[in-house]
């Protein structure tokens, strides 16, 4: 199996040490994955979940390689995960404003992208 994680980090110009912070895992773990010391299919599930979240992907998307990620989404996800509950509420409030001002055609018609607000307190 190829090293999708290394490829995604390279594609997004993310350094392993920075990604370790984003994913909240030890830098040594990221380096082992990127360098091939730890094989893709041998990564622990807890670590794999953190990596997927930091990349703005589901575990399935990361494992099967079927997802095209927008780098902006990855940045937003990383910022959200690394901020305080107050910061999360601020981001959530601003996201609602952005959705209202810049809706997709699908959202205007009540489609799937018409996201409901999530309750933010307690979100990690």
Q: What's the CATH code of the domain at 35? A: 1.10.260.40
* pLDDT single digits (tens) 72-105: 887 888 888 888 999 999 999 999 899 899 988 8
How many helical (H) and strand (E) elements, i.e. helices and strands, does the chain have? 8, 0
Tell me if 122 is assigned to some domain: yes
Domain that holds residue 46: 4-68
One domain for residues 58 and 103: no
C-alpha distances out from residue 20 to 17, 46, 67, 122, Å: 5, 14, 21, 23
Examine the pLDDT at 2 and tell me if it is beyond 80: no
Residue spans of beta strands (DSSP E) within 6-60: none
One domain for residues 50 and 96: no
* pLDDT single digits (tens) 11-69: 888 999 999 999 999 999 999 999 999 988 899 999 999 999 999 888 988 888 765 66
One domain for residues 18 and 61: yes
One domain for residues 39 and 87: no
One domain for residues 57 and 103: no
């Amino acid at each position: 199996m190829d090293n999708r994680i290394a490829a995604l980090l390279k594609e997004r110009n993310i350094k392993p040490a920075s990604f370790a912070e984003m994913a909240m895992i030890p830098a040594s773990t990221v380096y082992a994955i990127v360098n091939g010391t730890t094989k893709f299919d041998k990564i622990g599930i807890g670590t794999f979940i953190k990596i997927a979240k930091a990349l703005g992907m589901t575990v399935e998307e990361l494992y099967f390689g079927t997802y095209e990620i927008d780098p902006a989404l990855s940045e937003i996800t990383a910022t959200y995960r690394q901020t305080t509950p107050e910061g999360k509420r601020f981001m959530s409030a601003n996201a609602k404003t952005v959705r209202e001002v810049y809706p997709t055609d699908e959202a205007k018609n009540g489609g799937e992208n018409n996201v409901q607000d999530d309750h933010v307190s307690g979100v990690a």
